[in-house]
Amino acid sequence: MNWTLIKILLIVFAFLNLQNNDSFVNAKNGNSTKDEPTDHIITRLPAGFKILKKVIHGIRMKLLDTVVDLIHDIGNKTDLNKLEKCYSSEFGDRQLNLFQMPLHDVIYDYFTSGDHDHLFLSDSKFEIRQRLIIFVQNVKTLLHLIQKCLIAPYEEQMVMGITTLSHLSDHEYKQMLNKELYNKPLKLDNNNAQHKNITSSTSCIDPGPMVIPDEFDWNEKGKVTPIKQQFICGSCFIFSAVAVVESAYLIHGKTNLKPEEIDISEQAILDCMNPDVCRTGGWPTQAWMTMAHQGIVDEEDAPYMSMYTGGCKAYPKSKINYRIVNWCDDVYNTDDFIQRFILKHGPVFAAVDASGKEWKHNKGVFRAQCGKKLSHAIVITGWTKQYWIIKNSWGLNWGINGYLYLPRGQNKCGINSVIGVPFGMITP
């Protein structure tokens, strides 16, 4: 058993085992603790390792009490079929069911999933304890949103649950958003481009008349790379820019590579940005310009660190023989224009207002109220009769397998506000 897992188990045990040998939460749920996964593991922990239970006693009891009471209240009053319209317990290959599992089991399974190996690199028991408290607070918020959803009209109901973002504080979530998208207007030119083969960015040219199918998705055609995770950094614009380039290469690059074999480095681009890039964000056009100047870098040569590590660097030649030479972007687009552009060129960059608290918990079609103050860059890969199909950068255990489904025909969350796409050419 590795030390990180031991630390998690210790803190989970201390956080929830607050009354003698009986779990507080299990007692509330009416379950025995004798078969809990923590019991036999605790006996094997290193001798002499002590936990300061007093630090998490008292007011923390009130938080747990409130959460468990909310679970009981919703579970006892709600029909299962109705609950499924507002709640999903799926989390990868696990079920994190708040209404059927003791809360401590949900916490244990969440923090021991592969999604969170990076969380407990610190030896600070205080930081670990605070992370668990944030998670429980987010569960409390989720339960209140479920209550609100259950009494909302159908057109406002949406499926929510525990996601890869459920351990983040509100401040950390805001750090993931892109301030640059609404602080500065989109620049439709490239005055700083100095490479003779890089032309100025222009407005996207209308592809012209074409038959638009009711449903279409480049992902189903094997032209979209796997979902990635940006972590706590406002680098969504880089992930969006890279995803569009990866798809462009699969569609136009005459390659035999499969989507899972293509992985362009976001870190190599991030390090060519302003040192404050994780705090400020940026536009995909900046990322495409960097790729045009510096070339494409493979992920294995510059793994993602979710932070600025200091200046552009030289890397080995990428296995992707593709060079960005130009790009276009456009604002205030109709659904019809976006669809025709996707059909001709492939997935496109777009942006949404992701400032609402429902975003952190989304597990299905996003129907919550939202504004149009753009704060998050994403990629539209296709559509259904009713929804845009959108690739996100928040991991697989958010939305529907990492994808966002957004209602069409209403500029929901500002999705029609801006699109963009790069153009490239095969290199020797």
Catalytic-role residue among 376, 397, 413, 416: 376
3 state DSSP class of 425? strand
Contact 369, 150 (CB under 8 A): no
**How far apart are the C-alpha atoms of 108 and 124, rounded to whole Å?**
18
Q: From the candidates 392, 397, 413, 416, which is the catalytic residue? A: 392
Tokens at residue 415, please?
A: 């999705």
Among residues 86, 149, 204, 236, the one annotated as catalytic is 236
- Cα–Cα distance, 414 to 350 (Å, whole number): 9
Concerning whether 236 is annotated as a catalytic residue, the answer is: yes
d(CA 325, CA 202): 12
Residue 373: CB atoms within 10 Å: 14
What is the C-alpha to C-alpha distance for residues 225 and 177, in angstroms, rounded to an integer?
22
- Rounded Cα–Cα distance for residues 240 and 243 (Å): 5
Instruction: Tell me, yes or no, if 97 is annotated catalytic.
Output: no
Nearest Cα to Cα of residue 174 among 16, 280, 96: 280
Q: How far apart are CA 363 and CA 102, in angstroms?
A: 21
Q: Spell out the residues 6+ positions from residue 230 whose beta carbon is closer than 8 angstroms to its own.
A: 176, 236, 239, 266, 306, 393, 394
164 pairs with which residues across the strands? none
Q: If you ran DSSP here, which 8-state letter would residue 318 be given?
A: P
Q: Which residues on neighbouring strands pair with residue 424, listed in sequence order?
A: 324
Strands (E), 38-168: 90-91, 94-95
DSSP string for 320-388:
S-EEEEEEEEEES--HHHHHHHHHHH--EEEEE---SGGGGGB-SB--S---S---EEEEEEEE-SSEE
Nearest to 15 by CA among 129, 103, 106, 166: 129
The first and second tokens of residue 132, run together, are 């668990």
- 327: exposed, middle or buried (Cβ count in 10 Å: 0-12, 13-18, 19+): buried
- Find the angle CA(295)-CA(266)-CA(292) to the nearest 5 degrees: 25
**Residue 413 annotated as catalytic:** no
Positive or negative CA dihedral for 121, 124, 129, 130? negative
Give dist(CA 393, CA 237) in Å, integer. 10
- Catalytic residue positions? 236, 376, 392
